[in-house]
Amino acid sequence: MTDRNHSDIRSNAVITAIGSYVPERILTNADLEELVDTSDEWIVQRTGIQERHIASDHQFTSHLCFAAVQDMIERYNKDVNDIDYIIVATSTPDAVFPSVASQVQSHFGIENCGSVDLQAACAGFTAAIQLANGLLVSGAYRKVLVIGAETLSKVTDYSDRTTCILFGDGAGAFLMEASDSGSGNVLHMYSKTDGARGHQLYRSSLASAIGDHVIQPNGLIVQNGREVYRWAVSHVAEGVKQLMTRSSLSAADIDWFIPHSANMRIIEALCERTGFSLNQTLSSIKLFGNTSAASIPLAIDGAVKAGTIKQDQLMLLYGFGGGLTQAGIIIRWSL
């Protein structure tokens, strides 16, 4: 019987440009000391976060997407008019519909373009890359724009000291194109969902329960931090190891490990359990906080701008979060 989650895949998808954006306003730990019973020392010790960027009252996820894509266009001199498909990974769309992706299409005046929002919480960006790879390898499309973007500050309960210290806003974009050579950047992938644990991390909408679990219907992020931590350091760590095993790679073979920047304690625990060192781990947690679907592209683009990532290096990207969902990919950097 064939393993339906086996990581050996076909890919002709090449990452040809990257861009990012964070809002100008900064929320520091000192600012949070004025809102809740907390301290800079307590926050840094438990999360590794020093500050996060916060969207203005009139700035929404679509605006962050526009800015990230514009950054990509200007840095790589890219034409987006012939993009075939747009995927926006977000849990904080401006509206349920129209999608953020359709607003990106409208803003840049892209014709003959499909669009969809993908909601996989903090696993959204890696899941979107998996789907983009499938669209490109199918031959139906040649150019796909993948964006991870969030305005989590708009759905954060700033009276809850356990969650309000975590979240920030930002956006990152990858342009993925079909390679004429037939070989792509995406080498291996893995995904898994633990829906029975979904009530441990949620943002409510229409229903007042998730399965048999009554939830708070306030539209804000609710998290059982202890249970999510336990799930991450055990089940997510096992997922990372499964991805490496199925790709016949070890931590020593990977140049850069880029997990979702949930908090530094989780990142450290994942490294300890999977064999990665912190020196080979990229994160956006310190200056941006937990930006959910945007955290991985923000970490990568920060390293790209710093010249840290080199051509042909192997990178393991691993998103995990609400669902409870996890999605990982191994790519070879060629940008």
Q: In whole angstroms, what is the distance from residue 330 CA to residue 247 CA?
A: 9
Is 133 marked active-site?
Answer: no
Is 213 marked active-site?
Answer: no
Write down the catalytic residue from 29, 133, 263, 290.
290
Can you give the chain as a three-state secondary structure string?
A: CCCCCCCCCCCCEEEEEEEEECCCEEEEHHHHHCCCCCCHHHHHHHHCCCEEEECCCCCCHHHHHHHHHHHHHHHHCCCCCCCCEEEEECCCCCCCCCCHHHHHHHHHCCCCCEEEEECCHHHHHHHHHHHHHHHHHCCCCCEEEEEEEEEHHHHCCCCCCCCCCCECEEEEEEEEEECCCCCCCEEEEEEEECHHHHHHEEECCCCCEECCEECCCCCCEEECHHHHHHHHHHHHHHHHHHHHHHCCCCHHHCCEEEECCCCHHHHHHHHHHHCCCHHHECCCHHHHCECHHHHHHHHHHHHHHHCCCCCCCEEEEEEEECCCEEEEEEEECCC
Write down the catalytic residue from 53, 260, 263, 271.
260
Is 5 marked active-site?
Answer: no
φ, ψ (nearest 5 deg) of residue 327: -150, 125
Q: Quick count: other Cβ atoms within 10 Å of Cβ 82?
A: 12
Write down the catalytic residue from 65, 113, 122, 164.
122
Q: How far apart are the first and last CA of the chain?
A: 37
CA 216 to chain CA centroid, nearest Å = 25
Residues designated as active site: 122, 260, 290
